[in-house]
Chains A and B, each alone.
Chain A
Amino acid sequence: MIVKDWCMYCGECAGLCPRNLIEVKETSLIFHEEGCKDCRICVQICPVEALEK
């Protein structure tokens, strides 16, 4: 997952990730991609289009 510079770390992606794979820190996002099923919900719902698969 590519996290763009303008990510606001709001965590909306984490709340919607069906597999609970996204960890939101104060100024970074950690994707535990080994469990990712490529549903792309996180990419679709980002309010500022900051995620790219």
Chain B
Amino acid sequence: MLVTDVLVIGAGPAGSSAAKHAALNGAEVLMIDKKSEIGAPKRCAEGVSKEGLKRLGIEPNPRWVTKELSGVCMVSPNGTQVVLDEEKVKLPEAGYILERKVFDKFMAMDAGRTGVQIMVKTLATGMERDGDRIIVSAEHMGHSFKIQTKILIAADGPESRVGRWAGLKTSMKPKNMESCAQFEMVNVDMNEPDCIEFHFGSVAPGGYAWIFPKGDDIANVGLGILNTVTEKTAYQHLLEFVDQCPATQNAQPVELNIGGDPVGGVIKDLVADNVLVVGDAAGMVNPLTGGGIASGMTGGLIAGEVAAQAIKNEDWSAKGMKEYKTRCQEEIGDSFKKYLKAKEYMLSLSDEELDTIAEAFRDSDFESINTTELLKKLVKISPKALLKLGKLF
């Protein structure tokens, strides 16, 4: 049996961040991942905000940054484009497009350099409590073995089972899980190749479609939908989008990515005796954009620090680690509340309303527009849309 202070299950950015910060603060850490290659296959549009990385103290590295962005282009159902310059309007997830297969490995390597022991192709199959410790059953290359740990950090993604093994309510509901499909494509012809592009409306019911440029003529072209509002699958919607979008008329796919994105906000139960939940498993995903790299890594950083302190204090009960929930709420959860409202508003608008709004804002100078002016403009162009906004606040 392997014995450790902290066991991290899942070596995505959130898991690696948790492992690294637990080790940096003196804990003995083992991190396991079920995949043979950390970071592959990607299940992400690969956008991350500059501010998010900066807050985490991570310097952009040309080995995993494929594109630096200058703004965001919003496209309404009839094709009207509204371009927002990053310097004028602060927008989440507008910063860099990553190569996740490289980025995730780099983050795991960072963790490894701090002393974290890493095991790949290692699947956790169950857990049980043994006094004040946890015993995790695991499999690696046909061998079954057990790991005894004081603290278990569940970073096992949107399909997380670990939190639920610990009795936490981490299961997602279909209305809170965006079903996503994406092609990485070549020969993509973008109007604004330095901007990420969002397409709203019935093209992606319950979500949006995106084109995230990765340099040259390469881009991630994908969408997220809610299964509760459409009969078609995410993949079917993606095929239709690629077929109709002007930018992808001559594009060819080189990769297909599929996956769920939990967009219901941070879950309430983040802590149990011996257990912390981080990243997608904890719903640390921006409900509006679906981006979760920086927020997941922030959660990981907090989890690592709290876990290491709990080891020092010899108290890894839920009470002893309750600081984790408070800090996550302050640093991640609170900001997500406004994004949940914004998302609810966006989804309440019809294609016609989206077109009207986009046409009115198309030529606006966003540098000079404040909230009051935005509302005034909305009253003028679509009182119905404003009414919907009012109902949310």
CA distance A47 to B260 in the complex (A): 8
| Residue in B161, B164, B173, B258 whose beta carbon sits within 8 Å of that of A10 in the complex | B258
A47-B35 in contact (CB<8A): no
CB distance from A4 to the nearest CB of B (A): 13
Residue pair A23, B125 in contact (C-beta under 8 Å):
yes
Q: How far is the CA of A16 from the CA of B175 in the complex (A)?
A: 10
Q: Say yes or no: A44-B258 contact (C-beta < 8 A), given A12-B177, A17-B171, A26-B35.
A: no
Q: Is the CB of A41 within 8 A of B235?
A: no
A42 to chain B, nearest CB (A): 10
> A49 to B233, Cβ gap below 8 A?
yes
Residues of B near A13 (CB, < 8 A) are 159
Determine if B34 is an interface residue (Cβ-Cβ < 8 Å).
Answer: yes
- Name the interface size band of chain B: 20 to 34
Tell whether B256 is near chain A: CB-to-CB under 8 Å: yes
The answer, among B123, B160, B233, B256, for a CB contact under 8 Å with A15, is B160
CB-defined interface of B161-177 with A at 8 Å, one 1/0 digit per residue? 10011000001111001
CB distance from A31 to the nearest CB of B (A): 13
A27 to B233 Cα, complex, angstroms: 21
Q: A16 touching B233 by the CB < 8 A rule? A: no
Could you tell me if A45 and B34 are in contact, using CB atoms closer than 8 angstroms?
A: no
User: Which of chain B's residues has its CB closest to A13's CB?
Assistant: B159
Q: Please state if A47 and B121 are interface contacts (CB–CB under 8 Å).
A: no
Q: Which of A15, A22, A46 has the most CB of B within 10 A?
A: A15
Instruction: Determine whether the beta carbon of B174 is less than 8 Å from that of A41.
Output: yes
A14, A16, A18, A26 pick with most chain B CB within 10 angstroms = A16
For A48, the chain B residues whose CB sits under 8 A away are 181, 233, 235, 258
Contact status B181-A15, CB under 8 Å: no
Contact code string A2-20 (vs B, CB < 8 Å = 1, else 0):
0000001011111111101
Q: Chain A: residues with CB nearer than 8 A to chain B?
A: 8, 10-18, 20, 22-26, 41, 44-49
- Identify 17 new A-B residue pairs, CB closer than 8 A, beyond the known A12-B159, A17-B171, A48-B258: A8-B256, A10-B43, A10-B260, A11-B260, A12-B179, A14-B159, A15-B157, A15-B158, A15-B171, A16-B177, A20-B165, A25-B123, A45-B227, A45-B260, A47-B179, A49-B233, A49-B235
Listed A/B pairs (28) with beta-carbon separation below 8 Å = A8-B256, A8-B257, A8-B258, A10-B258, A11-B259, A11-B260, A12-B158, A12-B159, A12-B177, A15-B157, A15-B159, A15-B160, A15-B171, A15-B172, A16-B172, A16-B174, A22-B159, A23-B123, A23-B125, A25-B34, A26-B34, A44-B174, A45-B260, A47-B234, A48-B181, A48-B235, A48-B258, A49-B233
